[in-house]
Chain A
Amino acid sequence: MLKDITLGQYFPGDSLVHRLDPRTKLICVVLYIVALFTAKGFLAYGLVFLLLATAVKVSGVGAKALLRGMRPVLFILIFTGILNLFYTTTGTVLVKVGFLQITTGGLANAFFMVVRIMMLISGTFLMTYTTSPISLTDGLEMLLNPLKKLKVPVHDLAMMMSIALRFIPTLIEETDKIMSAQKARGADFESGSVIDKAKAMVPLMVPLFVSAFRRADELATAMECRCYHGGEGRTRLHQLHYTRNDWLVMGLFGVLVAAMFVLRRFSSF
């Protein structure tokens, strides 16, 4: 079950998408989200999807990995779909059972909402899959650099984020281990009511937290030993440079957002 959590995992590679500057990818993801939430109608969604599909194809990540990342949010997807299906009352009524009714508008709304969430997740996952967390946080730090003037601890936040990402697989592995250990001693994580299940989590969470704190303490010491003293005077192995490709890709996403606004206004399809 825990193996499904792919959030924050990085698949090293050398595709065009991998080689883009992390700042470009961050900006593009923001533009992509804006485009996705502006999109209206099949043509608009089609365009966004086309761009996403191209990016996935070029990245070589594979749709399978992206879909696997979708599994944990399956419930939310279904829930959103059902909610939109029944609560929208525009368009012509197709089926009516008691107080529940399905309209053409509801059908369209449900479809678009689900597609929107799926594409949202795929897009952001594609970024984390193709960008090493450190360069991602580097990019974020550089993009947010102006905020340092306002005394926002940008470097510290970026460091915390990259360490959190680094420890996700380690802690998942640990959780699996503790779960097996507790199961071996008769713990039951699967059956019973929701409350029973929540209670069964206690013997899992306590050791996990204790170990996480111990890890944090050891890591802090190890970082100190490697001369970490905050962001001041730090250099980088990988310097960030915008290349021609970066500008092109950013331009492409800019055009996409513009297209979405235009389509929203003038196209009824």
Chain B
Amino acid sequence: MAEPIIQMEHITFSYTTEEGVAPVVLDDVSLDIEKGSFVAVLGHNGSGKSTLAKHMNAILLPAGGKVYVSGVDTADEERWMDIHRMVGMVFQNPDNQIVANVVEEDIAFAPENLGIPPEEIRRRVDDALAIVGMSDYARHAPHLLSGGQKQRVAIAGVIAMQPECIVLDEPTAMLDPIGREEVMETILRLNREQHTTVVLITHHMDEASQAQRLVVMDHGKIVADGTPRQVFRHVDKLKAIGLTVPDTVGLLYELNQAGLDVPVDALSVEECAEEIYRLLNERDKE
């Protein structure tokens, strides 16, 4: 097992409201994120997945339990800058993360804050733009870009810090299908080519199924944890907590329920088609 970049040990959290303490948002959650992995955290609204994400780089501190980033306790205020640098965060709305009026100046924002020499900033900005495929837009104004492009700029702004891990909190929730695809491609490339650890918070099944590891949350607890194949096998369990499975798994599940012998864990359309084809062939032989 690879060494963990983020360790969360028995963390609990609840938002305090004016009337007192609100229901518990995180209830004794323990989770380790391994270096270089691509983990998706899945859950419907109010499952605590975004709150969990905010604990990963000390935006929120747990009420109970401990969070360590590369061995550093997030409660240690002195080290917050280091923690922010090690674990970058991308949020839902790209408009509310872009600070500058020119793409390259926005990407330079984090390195500038870190006090990096100008020549090095230049290099990092160019690299980050190349990684997200936005090199042609370096001098553009962000408000004239499409949603997917804006979100890629936001991701580049985080890459420029050279973090070891990037946490993306529903980065595609406000995007159209094309934008979603662009962002997902970027995330996958980041994980495969740059070996950056990626934590993707999402409620889209098809996005979650692209991860190496899938963590399902419900009512502040982790209810399933494993590879997407392992998790999606439990169709009943997922349906019970209000999550839908990918269309492919859903179809195979229905066939299975109807008494046909197909495995339910084929994730891609090709795999799914393959299984059904095999099934039909077998029937023909009989």
Residue numbers of A with Cβ under 8 A of B are 10, 12, 132-135, 162-163, 165-166, 169-170, 173, 215, 218-219, 221-229, 233-239
User: How far is it, in angstroms, between the C-alpha of A163 and the C-alpha of B106 when the chains are bound?
Assistant: 11
Instruction: Specify which chain B residues have a CB less than 8 angstroms from the CB of A218 in the assembled complex.
Output: 91, 93, 96-97
Task: Tell me if B102 and A132 are in contact (CB < 8 A).
Answer: yes
User: How far is it, in angstroms, between the C-alpha of A163 and the C-alpha of B142 when the chains are bound?
Assistant: 13
Task: Tell me if B59 and A225 are in contact (CB < 8 A).
Answer: yes
28 A–B contacts from the bound complex (CB under 8 Å): A12-B139, A12-B140, A132-B102, A132-B105, A134-B105, A163-B99, A218-B91, A218-B93, A218-B96, A219-B97, A221-B91, A222-B99, A223-B109, A225-B84, A225-B88, A226-B109, A226-B110, A227-B84, A227-B110, A235-B116, A235-B118, A236-B108, A236-B121, A237-B105, A237-B111, A237-B112, A238-B105, A239-B118
Instruction: Specify which chain B residues have a CB less than 8 angstroms from the CB of A228 in the assembled complex.
Output: 109, 113
Q: Does B31 contact A (CB under 8 A)?
A: no
Q: Does B204 contact A (CB under 8 A)?
A: no
Task: Tell me if A215 and B117 are in contact (CB < 8 A).
Answer: no
Instruction: Specify which chain B residues have a CB less than 8 angstroms from the CB of A169 in the assembled complex.
Output: 141, 143
Contact of A235 with B121 at beta-carbon distance under 8 Å, contacts A219-B99, A223-B99, A225-B88 already known = yes
Instruction: Specify which chain A residues have a CB less than 8 angstroms from the CB of B125 in the assembled complex.
Output: 237
Instruction: Specify which chain A residues have a CB less than 8 angstroms from the CB of B104 in the assembled complex.
Output: 237
Task: Tell me if A133 and B112 are in contact (CB < 8 A).
Answer: no
User: Could you tell me which residues of chain B, from 121 to 144, have a CB within 8 Å of some CB in chain A?
Assistant: 121-122, 125, 139-141, 143
- Nearest CB on A from B84, distance (A): 5
User: Could you tell me which residues of chain B, from 25 to 74, have a CB within 8 Å of some CB in chain A?
Assistant: 57, 59
* B161 CB contact (under 8 Å) in A135, A219, A223, A226: A226
* A166 CB contact (under 8 Å) in B57, B91, B101, B157: B101
Task: Tell me if A229 and B105 are in contact (CB < 8 A).
Answer: no
User: How far is it, in angstroms, between the C-alpha of A238 and the C-alpha of B112 when the chains are bound?
Assistant: 10
Task: Tell me if A226 and B91 are in contact (CB < 8 A).
Answer: no
**Chain A residue with Cβ nearest B107:** A237
* B98 CB contact (under 8 Å) in A135, A166, A227, A239: A166
**Chain A residue with Cβ nearest B139:** A12
Task: Tell me if B97 and A237 are in contact (CB < 8 A).
Answer: no
**Chain A residue with Cβ nearest B140:** A12
User: How far is it, in angstroms, between the C-alpha of A197 and the C-alpha of B98 when the chains are bound?
Assistant: 34
List 4 tightest A-B contacts by C-beta distance, closest first.
A237-B108, A226-B110, A218-B96, A222-B97
Q: Does B264 contact A (CB under 8 A)?
A: no
Contact of A12 with B141 at beta-carbon distance under 8 Å, contacts A234-B112, A237-B108 already known = yes
- Nearest CB on A from B176, distance (A): 16
Q: Does B269 contact A (CB under 8 A)?
A: no
- Nearest CB on B from A107, distance (A): 43
Q: Does B158 contact A (CB under 8 A)?
A: yes
Instruction: Specify which chain B residues have a CB less than 8 angstroms from the CB of A10 in the assembled complex.
Output: 101-102, 141
User: How far is it, in angstroms, between the C-alpha of A39 and the C-alpha of B99 when the chains are bound?
Assistant: 40
* A221 CB contact (under 8 Å) in B59, B114, B140: B59
